[in-house]
């Protein structure tokens, strides 16, 4: 898949950067002289701007190759927003954004570690392991940081799965009666366009989870709740007809990147 590259430090962007989001309001003229206003739900534009400095030769080539592959601003590519949670519906595990094995029982509305009622109780009464996960349309070979809170009334070993949707890596996490924010970094050797994150519950196990988040980096930041889509932007384009490169030293390149998505 075509996607904006990660750099050597496993980031997709450098600071500072500018991010602007625009919406549109429609005005309806009529014979009464008034102009009723209505939000145009079908229009949303995002603009992103950043100066990338100190890029290596390989990083310059990866950006330039993407620019050539997309014919500048003609074709779209995937951009992983650096300040958003990549997962959709981060607290609504019963929605269609999450894939659940048959037999799992999910009940929402439990007390969460941030003082609200956003936690979900997940029960597996079956005699064999069951899992739930979310699959995002993002490169599996990137490094991701997944984080969430979890606890269990009785101490349990729960398996986290993350990475390429076809062959995720696993890590066993110890749940107990105290809320704990688990942070797991993953990077798959598989090169596919889908990446998955979730848990495998052993037979006859019950846990509570809250605040699922995935970021395209090597470290977790403060939790950002999502209601609806996450920060995977599939229709991003270069906003310029050419890239202006400068090189201060050999292997040290600078370029201004302007992106647009609708």
Q: Are 163 and 143 in contact (CB under 8 A)?
A: no
The phi and psi torsions of 248 (rounded to 5 degrees) equal -75, -40
Beta bridge partners of 45: 22
Q: Where are the domains of the chain?
A: 17-83+233-261, 99-227
Query: What pLDDT does 262 receive?
Result: 81
Which pLDDT band, with edges at 50, 70 and 90, does 9 fall under? confident
Which CATH superfamily does the domain covering 99-227 fall into? Galactose-binding domain-like (2.60.120.260)
Task: Work out whether the CA dihedral 35, 37, 43, 47 comes out positive or negative.
Answer: positive
Query: What pLDDT does 36 receive?
Result: 65
Model pTM?
0.88
Q: 60 in the Ramachandran plot: left (φ > 0), alpha (ψ -120 to 50) or beta?
A: alpha
Indicate whether 25 pLDDT > 80.
no
Which pLDDT band, with edges at 50, 70 and 90, does 30 fall under? low
**CB-based contacts of 2: which residues, under 8 Å, 6+ apart?**
66, 69, 70, 75, 76, 77, 78
Query: What pLDDT does 40 receive?
Result: 53
Indicate whether 28 pLDDT > 70.
no
Indicate whether 81 pLDDT > 70.
yes
Query: What pLDDT does 107 receive?
Result: 96
Indicate whether 33 pLDDT > 60.
no
Q: Are 153 and 121 in contact (CB under 8 A)?
A: no
Q: Tell me the three state secondary structure of residue 100.
A: strand
pLDDT in tens, 83-123: 999 999 999 999 999 999 999 999 999 999 999 999 999 99
pLDDT in tens, 131-149: 999 999 999 999 999 999 9
Q: Provide the CB-side half-sphere exposure for 219 (13 A, CA).
A: 4
Query: What pLDDT does 150 receive?
Result: 98
Least reliable range by pLDDT among 28-32, 155-159, 208-212: 28-32
Query: What pLDDT does 37 receive?
Result: 63
What's the rounded Cα separation, in Å, for the pair 29 and 133? 48
What's the rounded Cα separation, in Å, for the pair 112 and 93? 14
Indicate whether 45 pLDDT > 90.
no
Taking residues 204-228, report their average pLDDT: 96
Identify the helix (H) or strand (E) that includes residue 78. Answer: strand 77-80
Q: How far is CA 206 from CA 95, 120, 157, 182, 260, in A?
A: 19, 11, 11, 17, 44
Q: Are 258 and 48 in contact (CB under 8 A)?
A: yes
Taking residues 179-198, report their average pLDDT: 95
What's the rounded Cα separation, in Å, for the pair 186 and 209? 20
Chain mean pLDDT for the chain: 91
Identify the helix (H) or strand (E) that includes residue 69. Answer: helix 57-69
The phi and psi torsions of 42 (rounded to 5 degrees) equal -90, 0
Q: 251 in the Ramachandran plot: left (φ > 0), alpha (ψ -120 to 50) or beta?
A: left
């Amino acid at each position: 898949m075509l996607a904006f590259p990660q750099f050597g430090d496993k980031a997709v962007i450098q600071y500072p950067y500018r991010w602007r989001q625009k919406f549109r309001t429609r005005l309806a003229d009529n014979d009464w002289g008034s102009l009723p206003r209505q939000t145009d739900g079908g229009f949303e534009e995002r603009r992103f701007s950043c100066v990338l400095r100190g890029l290596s030769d390989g990083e310059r080539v990866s950006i330039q190759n993407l620019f050539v592959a997309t014919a500048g601003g003609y074709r779209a590519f995937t951009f992983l927003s650096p300040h958003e949670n990549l997962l959709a519906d981060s607290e609504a595990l019963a929605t269609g954004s999450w894939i659940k094995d048959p037999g799992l029982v999910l009940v929402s509305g439990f007390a969460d570690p941030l003082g609200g009622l956003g936690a979900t109780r997940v029960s597996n009464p079956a005699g064999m392991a069951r899992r739930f996960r979310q699959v995002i349309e993002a490169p599996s070979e990137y490094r991701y940081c997944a984080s969430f809170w979890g606890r269990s009334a009785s101490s349990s070993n729960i398996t986290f799965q993350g990475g390429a949707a076809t062959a995720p890596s696993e890590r066993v996490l110890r749940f107990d009666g105290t809320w704990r924010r688990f942070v797991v970094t993953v990077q798959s050797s598989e090169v596919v366009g889908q990446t998955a994150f979730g848990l495998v519950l052993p037979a006859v196990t019950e846990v509570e989870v809250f605040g699922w988040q995935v970021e395209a980096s090597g470290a977790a930041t403060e939790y950002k709740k999502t209601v609806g889509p996450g920060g995977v932007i599939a229709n991003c384009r270069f906003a310029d007809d050419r890239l202006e490169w400068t090189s201060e030293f050999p292997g040290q390149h600078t370029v201004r990147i302007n992106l647009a998505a609708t």
